[in-house]
Structure 1
Amino acid sequence: MSTKAIGDRGEAIAADHLEEQGYTIMDSNYRFERNEVDLVCFDPHARKGRGEIVFVEVKTRSSLNFGAPDEAVDEDKRSRIVGVAKAYLYERQLEGSPARFDVVGVLLNQGDEPDVTHYTDAFKA
């Protein structure tokens, strides 16, 4: 399986997982300049039921040889995702809307169900 195919499969698995949790997928692979955010969702349960926009970075691995999927989201990647999120909110006239950043790690196990780990508010210090 190519790296792109692994990534695409992981994003589809993550989107299914989020929808099962009640999230609505608003956009996928939103690009700004040379950067992108994998999924833009709405979590209706956040903020005491008022909801918030969630920018989701999905990292998929077919093994742990290069570390856990979420370990690939370093400070540089976070900074780029924040920039893309600001552009998204501006373009959609949603500036000031409550928003957060989640990371979903997907580990594809041969022959088994994928392991999905959802890190809510992952960029919070």
Structure 2
Amino acid sequence: MATTNDIGDRGEEIAAAHLDGAGYEILARNYRHSRNEVDLVCRETGAEEYVFVEVKTRSGTGFGAPEASITAKKRAALQHAARGYLHEHGAEGAPARFDVVAVMLTGGPPEVQHYENAFWAD
């Protein structure tokens, strides 16, 4: 039986492939700053805007939709990691947004929903 980490890792691979196919360049995976992490850091091909992506994966609907599990605390952690990434790469003040990719693994082909501008930075 797949563990939660296995499901999450598979979801991240599916999300990265989806974004790549949609014209995004993956700059980093599982970027950590302090104790905070962002799953994927991307840019759309030819764009200056950084895209910080949280991937949420579920193997069923018992706990609700994947995207519904992003709390205010999680959003704050993502923002902290994003600021760290921009600082480390000399890109403070660069345009950036936060997207969510929800992946459902229910036995058939994975269902992927990409929510652009899923939330705003505080």
Using the size of structure 1 for normalisation, the TM-score is 0.92
Specify which structure has the higher proportion of strand.
2
Distance in 2 (alpha carbons) for counterparts of 1:79 and 1:66? 22
Q: Give the number of aligned pairs.
A: 120
The aligned amino acid for 2:22 is Q
Asked if 1:3 is matched to 2:12, the reply is no
Query: Residue in 2 aligned with 1:36?
Result: 37
The aligned amino acid for 2:63 is F
Gap regions ≥5 residues in structure 1: none
Query: Residue in 1 aligned with 2:113?
Result: 117
Q: Is the 8 A contact 2:48 2:94 kept in 1?
A: no
Query: Residue in 2 aligned with 1:92?
Result: 89
Moved over 6 A (4+): none
Query: Residue in 2 aligned with 1:59?
Result: 56
Asked if 1:103 is matched to 2:100, the reply is yes
Q: CA RMSD in A?
A: 1.2
Percent identity (aligned): 54
The aligned amino acid for 2:114 is H
Distance in 2 (alpha carbons) for counterparts of 1:32 and 1:86? 9
1:117: Cα distance to partner? 0.5
Gap regions ≥5 residues in structure 2: none
1:35: Cα distance to partner? 1.3
The aligned amino acid for 1:70 is E
1:11: Cα distance to partner? 0.1
1:58: Cα distance to partner? 0.1
